[in-house]
Amino acid sequence: MAYVAIADRPDELHHPHSFITKYVWSQDHKVIAIQYSIIAILVGLIALGLSFVMRLQLAFPDTFSFIDPSIYYQSVTMHGMIMVIYLLTALFLGGFGNYLIPLQLGARDMVFPYMNMLSVWVYLLSVIVLLASFFVPGGPTGAGWTLYPPQAILPGTPGTDWGILMMLLSLAIFIVAFTMGGLNYVTTVLQARTRGMTLMRMPLSVWGIFTATILGLLAFPALFVSAVMMSFDKLLGTSFFIPAVLSMGDVLETEGGSPVLFQHLFWFFGHPEVYIVALPAFGIVSDLLSVHARKNIFGYRMMVWAIVAIGGLSFIVWAHHMYVSGMNPYFGFFFATTTLIIAVPTAIKVYNWVLTLWKGDIHLTVPMLFAIGFIFTFINGGLTGLFLGNVVVDLPLSDTYFVVAHFHLVMGVSPVLVVCGAIYHWYPNITGRMLNDGMGKVHFWMTFIGTYCIYFPMYYLGILGLPRRYYSNGVTDFIPDSVSAVNIAITVSALIVGLAQLLFVLNLITSLRFGKKAEQNPWRATTLEWRTPEYPPGHGNWGPELPGVYRWAYDYSVPGAEKDFICQDEPPTEGQGA
């Protein structure tokens, strides 16, 4: 008897029946994706709240009695770490990766569903440990999200007793969760694509997520070992990262460690991490632009190679975060060169997005607005990376508000705009209902304009020389009084942007019940996730037979075709190219 692949034996799929197995201990990638997303968004809202602690202090110093320096620096730290790791990484890979990979590739599920389920619960555990650090003696760590030793574990910094250990433990747990999910995503992409879905026919969303996952699998171990080593320094008295120091009047027994070693390990993880967040955003926004401009993505192959090239280069640029760290200054030549080289594939992506709009049939839907907002924001944030990447230009700007503006625009706001656009785009696929359009537009405008008003002026504060991570500016001759006015304006913008996100959450919740019923493929997209027999897709995704794929994901407005899109699973007919 011939071998029949499990994917073609639907009677053997064990459909869950109880509430618990369907929605709690679920092994369905779609449910897991939603679980990941809900946890990530909730913890992200906490981090958003922490940013208001900072902004209130900076705009109105000496006004709020609850914001003392400890609380301020703890907020800075937790805001950064949560946003980068627990929100963006988890949401793009655990959320979008889980949802899109099997559906867009025509698979029934991830190849290791049980491990997938473990992944989300272990992720939840890491979040619980992280949030628990708010309630331990001394509070969470206030070492800055980079957790640089020695200050992260020596007195003089908030949360050096318990907080830092909770943070390191939480990161280690997160990495375990990520590794279980990540191996799954990579294996699924490589092994579980349906017939005809060649790698070069995959939607760019999957390409972005796939490449980012590989980066994560290679980069997170560096963070893991540095977390273990720092815990040893803290608990066992080792000196990996601490040389001989005089701390608070006492000569410690540490000797010979190197704080710069930690920075190398951290940024060997930290720089790929930027692309772990950016590449999925690049991929997803490519698809949003193509669908809503009714036009194929321009230069698909170049886009794929650009993603791969950026992924590869991202491992040899890490020390551009360390130009003034005291590492051997001759490294600056190498890392400035690699860093500016990475600008070329990145620029190509931007050109291709814009050229996708050119001669398109642009539908200014809410997802499209977010995609365009992304391009504008990303151009701005990306170009200022050329300042900081070019070692000597970095000298006056490093450690100032210029850096804050740059990375928030490029890896904070830009990916978040894509996340929002993507949620408006795929919400009907998930829930069978549309999100409210009017609320969506208000959300977009407040977020897009608001975030630019927050960060654009910060560039100039940085050029002026205003240092970041200052609880207050104090009396400093070169800082004019007008800076306080700018800080107030920035804080007002931030509050408006925060309000807009609450509107978004409200939209997400109310549309579940009151949203307009969505037709099966409301955006008239070509990709497989809109072609499931059940809508929204049910457990196992496909009916008795898996879909076959006959074309790439971008057959929009094909000359001679009757509709302006041809789905990937539509076989070629006479007179029509495939």
Partner 1 sequence: MAIAIAVILLVIGSVLFHFLSPWYFTPLASNWDTIDLTVDITFWVTGVVFVLVNLFMAYAIIRYRHRKGLKADYEPENKKLEWWLTAITTVGVVAMLAPGLVVWAEFVTVPEDAGEFEAVAQQWQWSFRFPGDDGVMGQSAVRLMTIENPFGLDPEDENGLDDVLVFGNEVHLPVGKPMKALLRSKDVLHNFAVPQFRVKMDLVPGLVTYLWFEPTKAGRFDLLCEEYCGLAHHTMRGDVVIEEQADFDIWLAAQPTFADTLAIPVADATAGQALYAPCAACHGMQGEGNLALNAPKLSGQEGWYLRRQLNNYKNGRRGTDPADMFGAQMAAMAGTLPNAAAVNNVIAYIQTLPDLPAAATISGDVDRGESLYLTCAACHGRDAMGIWSVSAPRQAGMSDWYLATQLRNFRSGLRGTHPQDGYGEQMASMSMMLLDDAAINDVLAYINTLPVDDKPRQVAILEQ
134 binds partner 1 (CB under 8 A): no
Among 150, 182, 203, 540, binds partner 1 (CB under 8 A): 150
Taking the C-alpha atoms of residue 529 and residue 16, their distance in angstroms, rounded to an integer, is 21
Lay out the site mask for partner 1 across 14-43 (x = CB under 8 A, - = otherwise): ------------------------------
92: contact with partner 1 by CB under 8 A: no
Q: Which stretch binds partner 1 (CB under 8 A): 109-117, 123-131, 148-156, 275-283?
A: 148-156
CB of 225 to partner 1, least distance (A): 20
Here the tokens at position 318 are 């890490």
Cis peptide before 280 (omega within 30 of 0): no
Cα three-residue angle 37-216-27, rounded to 5 degrees = 45
The verdict on 119 binding partner 1 (CB under 8 A) reads no
Check binding of 376 to partner 1 (CB under 8 A): yes
Phi-psi region of 202 (alpha: psi -120 to 50; beta: other; left: phi over 0): beta
Task: Name which of 122, 164, 105, 102 is nearest 139 in CA terms.
Answer: 164
User: Which residues ranging from 297 to 326 are in contact with partner 1 (CB under 8 A)?
Assistant: 298-302, 324-326
Q: What's the min distance (Å) between Cβ of 538 and partner 1? A: 33
Q: How far is the CB of 363 from partner 1 (least distance, A)?
A: 5
Q: Answer whether 339's CB lies under 8 Å from 317's CB.
A: yes
Residue that the structure tokens 């969303």 belong to = 205
Nearest distance, CB of residue 474 and partner 1, angstroms: 5
The residue among 259 and 498 lying less far from partner 1, judged by its C-beta, is 259
Window 352-371: residues binding partner 1 (CB under 8 A): 352, 354-355, 357-364, 369
Site for partner 1 (CB under 8 A): which residue of 42, 198, 200, 480?
480
Q: Least Å distance between CB 381 and partner 1?
A: 11
| CA distances in angstroms from 308 to 311, 371, 398, listed in the order given | 5, 22, 29
488 counts as binding partner 1 under rule CB under 8 A: no
Mask 508-537, x = binds partner 1 (CB under 8 A)? ------------------------------
Closer Cβ to partner 1, 65 or 573, answer by number: 65
Q: Which of 62, 236, 562, 574 binds partner 1 (CB under 8 A)?
A: 62
DSSP label of 399: T
Asked whether position 576 contacts partner 1 by CB under 8 A, the answer is no
What is the distance, to the nearest Å, from the Cα of residue 35 to the centroid of all Cα atoms in its chain? 16
Touching partner 1, residues 424-463 (CB under 8 A) = 448-449, 452, 456-457, 460-461, 463
Buried b (16+ CB within 10 A) or exposed e, 268-304: bbbbbbbbbbbbbbbbbbbbbbbbbbbbbbbbbebbb
Count Cβ atoms below 10 Å from residue 488 Cβ, excluding itself.
14
Could you tell me which of 266, 268, 276 has the C-alpha nearest to residue 307?
276
Residue 532-571 contact track with partner 1, rule CB under 8 A, x = bound: ----------------------x-xxxx----x-------
| Cα–Cα distance measured from residue 30 to residue 95, given in angstroms and rounded to the nearest whole number | 9
**Closest to partner 1 by CB, 276 or 391:** 391
Q: Angle, nearest 10°, between helix axes 259-292 and 414-431?
A: 50
Which residues between 175 and 234 bind partner 1 (CB under 8 A)? none
Q: Which of residues 241-280 bind partner 1 (CB under 8 A)?
A: 242-249, 251, 256-260
Q: Which of residues 408-427 bind partner 1 (CB under 8 A)?
A: none
Check binding of 94 to partner 1 (CB under 8 A): no
Q: How many residues bind partner 1 (CB under 8 A)?
A: 124
Least Å distance between CB 66 and partner 1?
9
Q: Which stretch binds partner 1 (CB under 8 A): 26-34, 377-385, 508-516, 541-549?
A: 377-385
Beta carbons within 8 Å of 37's beta carbon, 6+ residues apart: 91, 94, 95
The residue among 269 and 401 lying less far from partner 1, judged by its C-beta, is: 401
Nearest-angstrom CA–CA distance, 140 and 75: 9
496 binds partner 1 (CB under 8 A): no
Q: For residues 231-241, b (16+ Cβ closer than 10 Å) or e, as one string? A: bebbeeeebbb
Residues 379-398 binding partner 1 (CB under 8 A) are 379-380, 383-384, 386-387, 390-393, 395-396, 398
- Name the token pair of 516: 């307009």
- Contact flag: residue 471 with partner 1 (CB under 8 A): yes
* Min CB(55)–partner 1 separation in Å: 16
DSSP 322: -
Q: Does 136 bind partner 1 (CB under 8 A)?
A: no
Judged by beta carbon, residue 362 or residue 488, the one nearer partner 1 is: 362
Q: Which two tokens stand for residue 184?
A: 């799954």
In the window 155-174, what residues touch partner 1 (CB under 8 A)?
A: 155-158
Nearer of residues 109 and 287 to partner 1, judged by Cβ: 287
Nearest distance from C-beta of residue 159 to partner 1, angstroms: 10
Task: Give the DSSP H or E segment for 115.
Answer: helix 113-132
Which of 195, 373, 372, 211 minimizes the C-alpha distance to 293?
372
Task: Give the residue from 446, 457, 428, 397 showing the smallest Cα distance to 520.
Answer: 428
Q: What's the closest the beta carbon of residue 352 comes to partner 1, in angstroms?
A: 8
Nearer to partner 1, 420 or 483 (CB): 483
Q: DSSP per residue over 259-299, as a string? A: HHHHHHHHHHHHHHHHHHHHHHHHHHHHHHHHHHTTSPPTT
* Partners of 140 in beta bridges: 163
CB of 127 to partner 1, least distance (A): 25
Among 70, 187, 521, 576, binds partner 1 (CB under 8 A): 70
In angstroms, rounded to a whole number, what is the distance separating the alpha carbons of residues 352 and 558?
19
Nearer to partner 1, 23 or 64 (CB): 64
